[in-house]
Structure 1
């Protein structure tokens, strides 16, 4: 009689450790680096945040949230008819296995909408990134100016 519970516990332990076990999705993690959000422009309640994401297995950034804003969207920026345009990536952002994906000025980024309090350089912003298969990642972004790129997000007021 006492062997059945021991055998069941052993089988559950083996299943959790196996590559095909139910715990394999939780083992996948996305590495996040360089998180920075721009200060909010005077009179505006939105700003962009930038960071890099790296994962060993293919995944997708599906959403983001912050207690510092009413909403966070994943955006892409692109030049269309000579103007910088932004669109929400409703399906999220693909993260190819083993590649670093940069969310940077003039490209893909996180857009904070309805920022609760003005963000000034030196502040921090709490972000929670949610992925299709990896566990959510909590990030603390610093508020400051990101490295400039060819098409800087702040230099494109028509895109807002």
Structure 2
């Protein structure tokens, strides 16, 4: 009887032995958030702020909780919305929700990444390193091209 139980469990033991270990520090490519079309605007003369835009697709529901960059003293995820017939901008303090499998675009006139206290002027053709941190997925490092976004 014990031999039969062992033989029945053998396929499960084999699968477990062949699976990569999970745990802290492990990354699963299937659960990574996909980032596309990352770009940052050139900084206007004499200014130390600019916006960055990209598209995020998460395989499972997640939240973009923060962004960091060595190019700026402070980086925030902002939303733009109409209030009392005025366009208002504010930080998304709870982060940006990413529904499972849906592309979420950060674009001019809408949600975007704001670089504040830019350390050096950003010129067309430069690149900006961004580290995106999510509630559950592993952080993603992106190199955004500096250029003017296409007109909406």
Aligned twin of 2:16:
14
Corresponding position: 1:63 with 2:66: yes
Determine the C-alpha separation between the residues in 2 that align with 1:16 and 1:114. Answer: 48
Distance 2:151 2:103 in 1: 18
Distance between the aligned counterparts of 1:91 and 1:51, measured in 2?
Answer: 19
Larger Rg: 2
1:153 — aligned with what? none
Structure 2: gaps (5+ residues): 1-12
Q: Structure 1 regions of 5+ residues with no counterpart?
A: 1-10, 150-160
TM-score (norm 2): 0.82
User: Does the CA-based 8 Å contact 1:48-1:112 persist in structure 2?
Assistant: yes
Cα separation, 1, equivalents of 2:147 and 2:103: 22
Distance 1:63 1:16 in 2: 35
CA deviation profile, 1:85-112 (whole Å, cap 9, x unmatched): 1000011000000100000001000000
SS in 2 for 1:14: helix
Q: Counterpart in 2 of 1:76?
A: 79
- The reply on whether 1:108 has 2:111 as its aligned counterpart is yes
Q: Secondary structure at the match of 1:125?
A: strand
For 2:38 and 2:51, locate their aligned partners in 1 and report how far apart those are by CA, in whole Å.
Answer: 11
TM-score normalised according to structure 1 size: 0.78
Greater shift after overlay, 76-85 or 58-67? 76-85
- Given that 1:68 and 1:116 are in contact with CA atoms closer than 8 Å, whether structure 2 keeps it comes out as yes
1:16 shift after superposition: 9.4
* 2:142 paired with 1:139: yes
Shift of 1:22: 3.8
Secondary structure, in 3 states, of the residue corresponding to 2:27?
A: helix
Paired with 2:46 and 2:63, the residues of 1 have a C-alpha distance of: 33
* SS state at 1:26 partner: coil
Residue of structure 2 aligned with 1:46, choices 33, 45, 49: 49
Contact 1:15 1:22 in 2 (8 A): no
The equivalent of 1:122 in structure 2 is 125
1:16, 1:22 within 8 Å by CA — same for their partners in 2? no
